A and B are shown apart, each in its own frame.
Chain A
C-alpha cells in the first residue's frame, strides 16, 4: 500500500490517459461510427459547393444559359442543405456520446471514492479532491464538449478539401497545400514565444490570487487594526504586476491570429498568381480559379484550429490523468473474501495488544488491551492527542491495526464484513455533521425506513424537538450550508437524535455533548443514560464529570493504557487519573477562590 499523497499537478502526465479518456466515448461504438460517417459526409457535402461554383462559372454563366444556371444552383442548394443536416446530425450524436462518457466517468469516480478508506481522505485534502472531480473533470468535459467536435470536423474538412481540390486541379492544389507547413511552423514559433510569457503571467496571477485570498480571509484583522492602506497597497502592486505580465503574454498570443490570417491571405495571393498563370496557359479555366479561392480558405481554417484543439487535448489529458489517479487508488481496507456477516451481537468488545500508527513510524497506540463486557459503559480519558479517538477509529475498522486483534463477541473484526460491523455500532462524532437537507432527512439518515413519527420521537429524546419547533418550517426546514445557521450545540443534538433512531447495540460518543448548553445537557444526559442502558458504550469526554459514573474508566496517555478501573478505585490509587482529575482544580489555587 502506497502512502504517498496523490501526485501534484506538477508531476508528468502519463501519456496513456488520453486513450483511456477516449475509451469512455468509445463505449457506444455504433454511435461513434455514425458520428464519423455523418461528419465525413457532411463536411464533404458542405465543401462540394466550392467545386460547383467553378463548374457553374465555367458552364451556365460562361454559356449565358440562365435556366441551366437555375438547375445547377438547385443542385448546389440541395448539396449544401444535405451537408448541413449530415453535419448537424453528426454533432448531435457526438453530444450524446460525449455526455454519456462524462456521466460514466463521473459515476465511476464517485462510486470509487465511496469504496476508499478513511486514510485516503486523511491524506487527501477535500479541496484537492473536489478540484479533481470538478475542475479536472471539467477540462475533460471541455474537450469532449468542444474539442472532439472541432477535431473531427477539422480533420474531415482538411481531408475533404484536399481530395476535392486535387480532383479539380493538382497544380493549383500544390500552391494551396504549400501553406500547411508554414502555418504549422508559425504556430509552433508563436507558442514557443507565448509559453514563457504565459508562465510569467500564471506565476504573477498565482501571487495575486494568493494575496487576495490572504487579504480577504484576513479582512476582520485588517479592519480591526486599521491596516487598510497597507492591504490595498499590497493588492494594488500585485495587480499591477499581473496587468503588466498579462499585457505582454496576451499581446504575444493575440498576434498569432493576424499572422495566420496574413499567411492565409498570402496563400490566396499564390492561388491568384498561379491561377492567373495557369489559366493564361490554358491549363485551368476561370471557374477553377474561383473554386480555389474558396479552397484556399477552407484549407487554412482547420489548420489554425489545430493549436486550439491540441491545447484542449493537453489540458484534458492533464486533468484526466489526475482523475484516473483517483480511480487507480486501491481501497486500503478490504473485506476478506470469506468474511462473515455480523448478526445479532451481545456487545462484548475486546482489544488485544493493539499497536497502531497513522503514519508509519509514528506510533499512536502501543500495546492497548481493554475489554468491555456487554452493557458496560467505558469512559476513555486522557490529554488531547493521547489516542482516545484513535481507539474508536480502530474498533470500527476505519483503520487496520499493525499488531494485535480486536474482537466483537469473540469474532475478530478482521473476519467479518466492514458493512455489517458498522451497522452494529452507533457513533456520534466530535464534529457534528449535517447535510443541506431537511431536519427530518438528516435524522432519517440513521435509518432510511424510519417513519416521521419515529424520527420525531428520536428528536424529542435528544431534546432537539424544542429548537426544531422554532425553525421556520419545523422538521421540514432545509438546513442551508449543512446547518451553518444552527449553533454547534443544536447540531450536536440532531446527531444525537440520529444515533437514538439508529438503535445500535454498541455506542460510541466522542465529545458528543461538548457544546450543548448546561441546562439542555442535564436533560440530555438522562436520555443518553437511558439509551446506554443494556448497550455497550464508549464515551470520550473532556468534562470528567460526564464519565465519572462509567463502569470502567480507561485512562490513556501517549497511546498507552495507564489506568483501568472505576472512578473511586482510580482516585484511591492516586495514579494518572487522579492527577488528571485534580489538575482541573488548579484554578482553586488562585487567591480569589482559596480565601
Chain B
C-alpha cells in the first residue's frame, strides 16, 4: 500500500501553521510519554538488583516511588498528546469539509451530475469523518509502538549489546507480521465491502420495485437472487474474519517467543556473570509492555488503509476541473453588450451532448442543430415529451453547460465570453426542481440577491407568484420558518415560492422550466398573467408539458428527440404542424372545427 493520498493529507496539515504546531506538539508529548514508559522497567531493574537481590527494602520503596512518578508523568504527557490529537484531527476534518465544499461551489452542473449528489454527500460527511478519526488515532498511536521498540533497543544497548539484539530481532518480526496482515487482510475486507454493495443493490432494487415484484409474483425469484449474493457475501466475510483471527494469537506468540529469546540470551549472560538479573527484567518488561501499543497499531493500520481511500475520494472532488470555467479575460455581460442588456437571445445551430462519466462527450447529442431567435419581450414556449431536450435547451442559456457546437448569444454576445456571474445577473431560471433552504420565507424569496430586497418587493413577487395567500395565512407571515429542503410546504407551494424568488430579481431574461406542473389549470393561468404583467419587456422562456400552458406564447417550439420539429404561434402551428396537432389532440382531443 502506497498511501500516496495520505501523504497529501499530511502535507495539507503541515501547510497550515496551526496544524503544524499542534502536530509537532503532539508528537513531542508522545516522545515524553514513551520516554517515561521506558523508564519504568529501569526502576524495576533497581528494585530487583539492589532491593530484592541486594536485600535492601529502602531500594524497593525508592524504586516503587520512581515507578509511580514515571507512571503519572507518562499519563500527563499522554493526556497532552490526546489534547493535541483531538485538535489536529478536528482541524483537518474542518479544513477538508470547507475546502471540499468551496471547490464544489466552483464546479459546474455537469461536474456535479457526474460526481452524483449522494456520492458528494458521502465524501463531505462519512469520508471526512473517517479521515479525522484516523488522523486522531494516528497522532496517538502510529509512532508509539515503533518509538518504544527503538527506545528500548538503545537503552538495552547501553546495558549489553547482546540483550539489545533480542529487541533488534523482535522489531522486524513484528513489522513483518503487521505488514503481512495488512497485505493479506485489507484486500479481504475490501472484497467484503464490494460484496456488501452488490447485496445492497439487490435489496434496494427489490424494495423500490416491490410493486413489480408482487405484480409478477416473483418472490421466489427475488429470494434466489438475494440468496446468491448473500452466499457470496458470507464466503467473503468468513474469509476476512478468518484472516483477522490470525492477528491476535500471532502477536501473543511473538511476545512469548520474545520472552523465550530474552531468557535464552539474558539467562546465558546472567549465568556467565556478564549482567545482573535485573537487566533481564528490563528486557522482559519491555517485551510485555509493547504488546498493548502493538495491538492498538494493528487496529489502526486497516483504518489507515481505508482513510487513504477516503482521502482519495475527497481528492477526486478537489481535483475536478470545472466544465464551464470563465475565460481568463471574460468581461461582464453588461460591459460586453455595450452598457445595456435588452434580452435578445439567439441559438445558432446549437448541438449539445452531455459529457459521459469519463468526461468525454457522449456521441449521441441531446440537442441537434437548434436555431432559435427570441426578441426582447417575447414569450418563447418549449413543448415536447419527457427527455426531448427542453430543459437542456434552456440550461445552455445560463451556461449550466457549454454547447458542443454552435453558439448561444445574448444581444449578440456569446455567453461563453462573459463571466457566469454577470450572466446570472441578467438571466434568472426557475428550475424544474427548485430547492428551498432552511430559514425564513423572506430569506428564501430573497435568496442570493446581493442586497437584501425590500420587503415590499418580496410581497409583490409573492403576490404575482400566487404565493402570498398561503404565506400570509401563516401566523408569522413572511418570517415563517422554512424547514430543511422546504419539507413543510407542498410541491405546488414550493413551486410558487421559487417563482417569487425569481420575480423579486426582475431579470431581463426569465426561464420557467416546467415550474407550474403542480398547479391546477386556473392557478397556472393566473400566475402566467401576473408574470407577464410584472416582467413587462423581459424575455421569457417557458418550458411546459401541458399544452394549455403555452397557448398564448409568441413562439412555440416543439422538440422531439432534440430537434425542433415545429416553430411558430399556436394558431399557425395547428395548421402547419402535424406534430403539434397530434400533441394537441392527445391532450385536448379533436381540434374544434371553428379554428
Whether B52 contacts A275 by the Cβ 8 Å rule is yes
List which A94-112 residues lie within 8 A (CB) of chain B: 94-96, 98-100, 102-103, 106-107, 110-111
* B458: Cβ under 8 A from any A Cβ: no
A435 to B545: give the CA distance in the assembly, Å: 27
Whether B98 contacts A236 by the Cβ 8 Å rule is yes
**Minimal beta-carbon separation of A334 from chain B (angstroms):** 14
Whether A91 contacts B63 by the Cβ 8 Å rule is no
Interface of A is mostly: helix
Binary flags per residue of A163-179, CB closer than 8 Å to B gives 1, else 0: 00000000000000000
* A215: Cβ under 8 A from any B Cβ: yes
Whether B48 contacts A80 by the Cβ 8 Å rule is no
Whether A232 contacts B281 by the Cβ 8 Å rule is no
Whether B588 contacts A587 by the Cβ 8 Å rule is yes
**Minimal beta-carbon separation of B461 from chain A (angstroms):** 13
User: Interface stretch among B147-155, B233-241, B408-416, B473-481?
Assistant: B233-241
Whether A255 contacts B79 by the Cβ 8 Å rule is yes
Binary flags per residue of B175-207, CB closer than 8 Å to A gives 1, else 0: 000000000000000000000100111011111
A265's partner among B63, B70, B267 (CB-CB below 8 A) is: B70
Residue of A nearest to B299 (CB): A146
Count of chain A residues with Cβ under 8 Å from any Cβ of B?
Answer: 163
Whether A586 contacts B245 by the Cβ 8 Å rule is no
Most buried by A among B94, B102, B289, B547: B94
Most buried by A among B260, B387, B429: B260
Count contacts between A and B, CB distance < 8 Å.
458
Residue of B nearest to A429 (CB): B211
Contacts of B493 in A (CB 8 A): none
Binary flags per residue of B86-104, CB closer than 8 Å to A gives 1, else 0: 1101110110011001101
Whether A53 contacts B68 by the Cβ 8 Å rule is no
**Minimal beta-carbon separation of B440 from chain A (angstroms):** 13
A584 to B521: give the CA distance in the assembly, Å: 9
List which A72-98 residues lie within 8 A (CB) of chain B: 73, 76-77, 80-81, 83-85, 87-88, 90-92, 94-96, 98
Whether A262 contacts B75 by the Cβ 8 Å rule is yes
Residue of B nearest to A148 (CB): B241
Whether B431 contacts A220 by the Cβ 8 Å rule is yes
* A412: Cβ under 8 A from any B Cβ: no
Whether B551 contacts A80 by the Cβ 8 Å rule is no
Contacts of A76 in B (CB 8 A): 256, 259-260, 263
A519 to B53: give the CA distance in the assembly, Å: 103
* A235: Cβ under 8 A from any B Cβ: yes
**Interface size grouping (class) on chain B:** 35 or more
Contacts of A557 in B (CB 8 A): none
A257 to B570: give the CA distance in the assembly, Å: 77
Whether A217 contacts B570 by the Cβ 8 Å rule is no
A518 to B87: give the CA distance in the assembly, Å: 62
Assuming the contacts A223-B109, A429-B211, asked whether A73 and B424 have C-beta atoms less than 8 A apart, the reply is no
Whether A240 contacts B94 by the Cβ 8 Å rule is yes
Whether B292 contacts A133 by the Cβ 8 Å rule is no
List which B214-250 residues lie within 8 A (CB) of chain A: 214-219, 221-223, 226-227, 230-231, 233-234, 237-238, 241-242, 244-246, 248-250
Residue of A nearest to B102 (CB): A232
Whether A226 contacts B211 by the Cβ 8 Å rule is no
A118 to B212: give the CA distance in the assembly, Å: 11
**Minimal beta-carbon separation of A92 from chain B (angstroms):** 5
A214's partner among B270, B438, B589 (CB-CB below 8 A) is: B438
User: Interface stretch among B7-15, B117-125, B325-333, B341-349?
Assistant: B117-125
Assuming the contacts A218-B437, A272-B44, asked whether A91 and B551 have C-beta atoms less than 8 A apart, the reply is no
A545 to B263: give the CA distance in the assembly, Å: 96
Residue of B nearest to A522 (CB): B582
Interface of B is mostly: helix
* B28: Cβ under 8 A from any A Cβ: no
Assuming the contacts A269-B67, A487-B387, asked whether A518 and B548 have C-beta atoms less than 8 A apart, the reply is no
Whether A53 contacts B263 by the Cβ 8 Å rule is yes
* B78: Cβ under 8 A from any A Cβ: yes
User: Interface stretch among B54-62, B368-376, B462-470?
Assistant: B54-62
Whether B94 contacts A239 by the Cβ 8 Å rule is yes
Assuming the contacts A83-B256, A225-B447, A280-B57, asked whether A56 and B67 have C-beta atoms less than 8 A apart, the reply is no
Residue of A nearest to B60 (CB): A276
**Minimal beta-carbon separation of A576 from chain B (angstroms):** 17
* A413: Cβ under 8 A from any B Cβ: no
* B138: Cβ under 8 A from any A Cβ: no
A545's partner among B61, B206, B585 (CB-CB below 8 A) is: B585
Residue of A nearest to B59 (CB): A276
Whether A519 contacts B245 by the Cβ 8 Å rule is no
* B47: Cβ under 8 A from any A Cβ: yes
List which A167-214 residues lie within 8 A (CB) of chain B: 205, 208-214
Contacts of A502 in B (CB 8 A): 216
Assuming the contacts A73-B263, A83-B253, A110-B230, asked whether A445 and B218 have C-beta atoms less than 8 A apart, the reply is yes
Whether B285 contacts A98 by the Cβ 8 Å rule is no
* A451: Cβ under 8 A from any B Cβ: no
* B158: Cβ under 8 A from any A Cβ: no
* A348: Cβ under 8 A from any B Cβ: no
**Minimal beta-carbon separation of B540 from chain A (angstroms):** 16
Assuming the contacts A83-B252, A114-B223, A269-B71, asked whether A277 and B57 have C-beta atoms less than 8 A apart, the reply is yes
Whether B435 contacts A221 by the Cβ 8 Å rule is yes
B277's partner among A57, A258, A488, A517 (CB-CB below 8 A) is: A57
A136 to B453: give the CA distance in the assembly, Å: 47
Contacts of B400 in A (CB 8 A): 220, 223-224
* B488: Cβ under 8 A from any A Cβ: no
A324 to B350: give the CA distance in the assembly, Å: 57
A518 to B433: give the CA distance in the assembly, Å: 25
Whether B241 contacts A276 by the Cβ 8 Å rule is no
* A9: Cβ under 8 A from any B Cβ: no
List which B561-576 residues lie within 8 A (CB) of chain A: 561, 569-571
* A474: Cβ under 8 A from any B Cβ: no
Whether B267 contacts A293 by the Cβ 8 Å rule is no
List which A463-495 residues lie within 8 A (CB) of chain B: 470, 482, 487-490
Whether A126 contacts B61 by the Cβ 8 Å rule is no
* A543: Cβ under 8 A from any B Cβ: yes
List which B102-118 residues lie within 8 A (CB) of chain A: 102, 104-105, 108-109, 112, 117
Residue of A nearest to B218 (CB): A445
Whether B74 contacts A265 by the Cβ 8 Å rule is yes
Whether A61 contacts B270 by the Cβ 8 Å rule is yes
A301 to B437: give the CA distance in the assembly, Å: 50
* B4: Cβ under 8 A from any A Cβ: no
Contacts of A210 in B (CB 8 A): 484
**Minimal beta-carbon separation of B552 from chain A (angstroms):** 5
Assuming the contacts A433-B212, A585-B592, asked whether A545 and B448 have C-beta atoms less than 8 A apart, the reply is no
A250's partner among B89, B428, B585, B587 (CB-CB below 8 A) is: B89
Contacts of B91 in A (CB 8 A): 243
Residue of A nearest to B252 (CB): A46
A396 to B501: give the CA distance in the assembly, Å: 45
Whether A243 contacts B136 by the Cβ 8 Å rule is no
* B157: Cβ under 8 A from any A Cβ: no
Whether B97 contacts A239 by the Cβ 8 Å rule is yes
Whether B551 contacts A590 by the Cβ 8 Å rule is yes
A488 to B268: give the CA distance in the assembly, Å: 83
Contacts of B238 in A (CB 8 A): 95-96, 99
* A359: Cβ under 8 A from any B Cβ: no
* B305: Cβ under 8 A from any A Cβ: no
**Minimal beta-carbon separation of A156 from chain B (angstroms):** 12
A223 to B448: give the CA distance in the assembly, Å: 9
A-B contact pairs, 20 of them (CB 8 A): A46-B252, A57-B267, A76-B263, A84-B250, A91-B242, A103-B230, A225-B428, A227-B447, A231-B101, A239-B97, A239-B98, A257-B140, A269-B64, A272-B44, A429-B212, A490-B387, A517-B388, A517-B561, A583-B521, A587-B548
Known contacts A268-B40, A398-B214, then 8 further A-B pairs from the complex at CB < 8 Å, ordered by chain A residue: A69-B264, A73-B260, A106-B226, A213-B484, A251-B83, A254-B86, A254-B140, A422-B214
Complex A-B, nearest 6 residue pairs according to Cβ-Cβ distance, in ascending order: A91-B245, A487-B387, A276-B60, A218-B435, A225-B448, A258-B78
